[in-house]
Amino acid sequence: MNNGKNDFKFPGYITTKSDFYWLNILLNVISSGILILDRGDMSKILVNKEFLEIFNFIDKDDGKPILLNMEDILKINLYRSNGEKLDNGDFPTIKSIEGENIKDLELILKPGTDEEKRILTDSLPIYGKSGDILAAITVISDISELKEIEKNLVKATKGRKLISQDFNGRMLNILNSMVNIFKIDEEYDNQDKDETGLNSNKLNSILFNFVQEILSCWDSVGEVEIREYVELILSLIQEIYNKKVDLKVYGHAPMTLDMVMNCGLIINDIVAYRLRSFQSNLHINEVIADRFPSFHNNNIFEMRIQLNSNKGKIRVKIIDNGPKVHVWTENHIEKTLTLANQLLGELSGFIRIDSNKQLTSFDFEFLYLEI
């Protein structure tokens, strides 16, 4: 292959030897392949060393400018991304010498071996002072490695999506099983519920529906904000009890989905227990008010839930002004909060209960691995 180095002459747009010297240095420090076509002599193309490397041309590094024959350039096997071979007239440098700007044209280079290269080309005409086109310059980047990374990322994303779908399916099966476990017969259900029909079983059903909705809507389940669930049940309770309760939630606690299930079940157990206590106390006050009209029943149940999640440590504090929990009822509480105590035991967590005439607090925390 004749690269034309021995018959070099200045292109028409270069006026002095010094100009060309600095142009040659500039071209060879650029990390992309460069082609410059002089309109005055379209049989030769000025290229840099990076171009030779991309297209596997032999470079005799003698320090002289690198000129290649146009016929050798047009022998390069270039294909569009759809597999169509690039015609000579569509070569970016040829199109730009006619005045066309080419931007981000992705092509496939097939050098005659099994190895293919992906290249990205940008090309534009060079205009003189009179507005005539003097030359065209084309920049070529080898993006084969980037395309391979992109390909692997697509595969990884698809794989992750399949894993997420499988995970979602398994979680939904687990949820369905848990729904069946938490279903209780009508007799026990009637014993456990208050006059509103709201008990821990129904709160758990709301939790399951909440998690199912997340699994159905999200492609990939990462961390979930449990505050959304707490706000959901508090708004429901507020609606049921109307002006008899004042419930608020503070803080944030993003956590993994399995921890949302565990934490939600513990919160449900405590909230349902305190609502039952409030309902019983409210009923007693109403009976007293009926017998003694002078008795003023102005009892509004107030509950505050504080959420915190930091470095895998979850802490939830539930405070209310409901009936006091007496020390002698500690064993009764353990039996009443069976699910909460069981889950905290499995999570190596603990709960502190503090109660006086004004406020009762349930403060529990546990750790989880942030994966």
Domains of the chain: 5-142 (3.30.450.20), 174-367 (3.30.565.10)
Classify burial at 310, counting beta carbons within 10 Å of its beta carbon; exposed 0-12, middle 13-18, buried 19 or more: exposed
B/e letters for 65-102, b = 16+ CB within 10 Å, e = fewer, are bbbbebeebeebebeeeeeeebeeeebbbbbbbeeeeb
Phi, psi for 325 (deg, rounded to 5): -95, 115
> pLDDT over 90 for what percent of the chain?
10
Higher-scoring residue by pLDDT: 242, 122: 122
pLDDT of residue 308: 92
Neighbours of 297 (CB within 10 A): 11
pLDDT of residue 1: 39
pLDDT level of residue 294 (50, 70, 90 thresholds): very low
Q: Answer yes or no: are the C-beta atoms of 267 and 230 closer than 8 Å.
A: yes
| pLDDT tops 90 at residue 301 | no
Residue with token string 């529990």? 364
Judge whether 354 and 364 are in contact, CB under 8 Å.
no
Lowest model confidence (mean pLDDT) among 58-67, 106-115, 145-154, 323-332 = 58-67
Direct distance between the N- and C-terminal alpha carbons of the chain, in angstroms, rounded to an integer: 58
Distances (CA, A) of 341 to 139, 351, 352: 68, 8, 11
Helices (H), the chain: 17-27, 49-54, 70-73, 92-97, 144-182, 186-192, 200-217, 227-241, 257-291, 330-336, 338-346
pLDDT tens profile 214-270: 777 665 556 788 999 999 999 988 888 877 888 999 999 988 877 888 899 899 999
Matching residue, tokens 């509480």: 333
DSSP conformational letter for 337: T
- What is the Cα–Cα distance from 333 to 354, expressed in whole angstroms? 13
Of 4-8, 81-85, 129-133, minimum mean pLDDT range: 4-8
Please name the residues in contact with 57: beta carbons below 8 A apart, sequence gap of 6 or more. Answer: 1, 3, 47, 51, 68, 72
Name the more confident of 220 and 88: 88
pTM to 2 decimals? Answer: 0.50
For 157, the token pair is: 């994303």
Tokens in use for 235? Answer: 């708004």
Query: How many other C-beta atoms are found inside a 10 Å radius of the C-beta of residue 38?
Result: 22
Q: How many Å apart are CA 231 and CA 249, to the nearest integer?
A: 7
Q: Which residue has the higher pLDDT, 267 or 154?
A: 267
Question: What would the two tokens of residue 330 be?
Answer: 């500690």
Distance of CA 127 to the CA centre of its chain: 47
